[in-house]
Structure 1
Amino acid sequence: MRNSLADVVSAALRVLEAQGLEGCSMRRVAAELGVQPSALYHHVPDKQTLLALMADRIVAGAGAAEGDPRRFCVALRDAMLAVRDGADVVATAAAFRLGASEIEERLAALVGADGARTLLLYTFGHAQSTQTHLQAAALGALAAFAAGPPAGGPAVAAAAGQTATPAAVAEAELEASFGRGLDIILAGLR
């Protein structure tokens, strides 16, 4: 059976989830599909194009929040955080102007080109920072998690409906921090 472009993108996302961005090579994607790496080039000319298609797939659901730039950015961040290294993939593709331009265009219709770029850079950066923090915490690489929750942390977690584990506290605070930053940017745009 011959693979389609959608099959190639799906395989790349499976490799991304299993290996992370650094381990997501054309060779591994080909192995996931059971084909030779050269077979991938019938669908994509290079890894950068595949990265752009992966980014587009990752953020595809963010469009459901049309009309409200705050909800749009929250949905975009959630979509990136739902995929291992998703924020890195989307931010890289956007930085190289390889993909996700439709997202920028839709946001620009709401807040103008400069506002859209500012919101996207903030959303990408915050999502990358959050993803790095959560991955490091999951690996036990953050000493603060061994010491227990920070002062006032359980209240933040409880407000978010989560248990007061250090990881839940951190995740709730990161989400709250993102919302506060969005509010500051949107107030400035108004």
Structure 2
Amino acid sequence: MPSRGLSRGDVAATALRLIDDDGLPDFTMRRLAALLGVQASAIYWHFPNKQALLAEVADRILAGHGPGSAAEPWQERVRGEAAAIRDALLEHRDSAEIVVSTMALGLGSDRALVRLTAALEAGPFTADDTRRAAAVVLHFVLGHVSLEQQRLWYDRLGARDGHLVMLRDLSSVDDFRFGIRTVVLGLSSINSQQSRQ
């Protein structure tokens, strides 16, 4: 039986807070149960295992920002969605790793992919190209954020020479925007080549 008053949402929200505070490597179901003031079995009532819980955490992370305007051209929509996903990820520690592991196991929702797909569906692409392009953009976002988060962690540990790199330092934002612009230009180019054939 679940502990009285302990909901699935309570467990996931507390897990996310614990990861934000201590990081994913130190996150355990036992520590989460202690923070909630329950036995671990109360958590397993809501989630069959740790990875299922992390899938719910990933969904919460990606729910942090709403979709952009459907009235914009597809190129702007893709750039906007990519930036919104990045912003949502950067609000939480180790978020890229959590989302990637969840995707690799086929768990959780595909909210980010759905949003990127919807943005690309406004463009002149086939269904297959739309699906592939959405995956490419999402992989770029996750890879870029993963690098940003790793770099920040190493800076906190003093493992890198140089100044402290902040999550939102200007060069990272500029690099991210450049990368997304490059991907969008590449997609536009592919479409132009196909229309000439």
* TM-score in same-fold range (> 0.5): yes
The code of the aligned residue for 2:45 comes to H
Q: Quote the residue 1:131 is aligned against.
A: 149
Q: Distance in 1 between matches of 2:41 and 2:165?
A: 42
Q: Distance in 1 between matches of 2:109 and 2:95?
A: 13
Q: Distance in 2 between matches of 1:30 and 1:101?
A: 28
The code of the aligned residue for 2:157 comes to L
Q: Quote the residue 1:35 is aligned against.
A: 38
Stretches of 4+ aligned residues off by more than 6 angstroms: none
The structure-2 alpha-carbon separation of the partners of 1:168 and 1:130, relative to structure 1 and needing over 3 Å to count, comes to closer
Q: Distance in 1 between matches of 2:65 and 2:132?
A: 20
Secondary structure of residue in 1 paired with 2:38: coil
| Shift of residue 169, structure 1, vs aligned partner | 10
Is 1:110 equivalent to 2:131 in the alignment?
A: no
Is 1:91 equivalent to 2:100 in the alignment?
A: yes
Q: Distance in 1 between matches of 2:96 and 2:43?
A: 24
1:12–1:29: 8 Å Cα contact kept in structure 2? yes
Instruction: Answer 1 or 2: higher relative contact order, Cα 8 Å, separation at least 6.
Output: 2
* Aligned CA-pair RMSD: 1.8
- How many residues align? The count is 170
Match of 1:22 among 25, 29, 35: 25
Is 1:120 equivalent to 2:174 in the alignment?
A: no
| Shift of residue 36, structure 1, vs aligned partner | 0.6
Match of 1:7 among 3, 6, 10: 10
Is 1:73 equivalent to 2:82 in the alignment?
A: yes
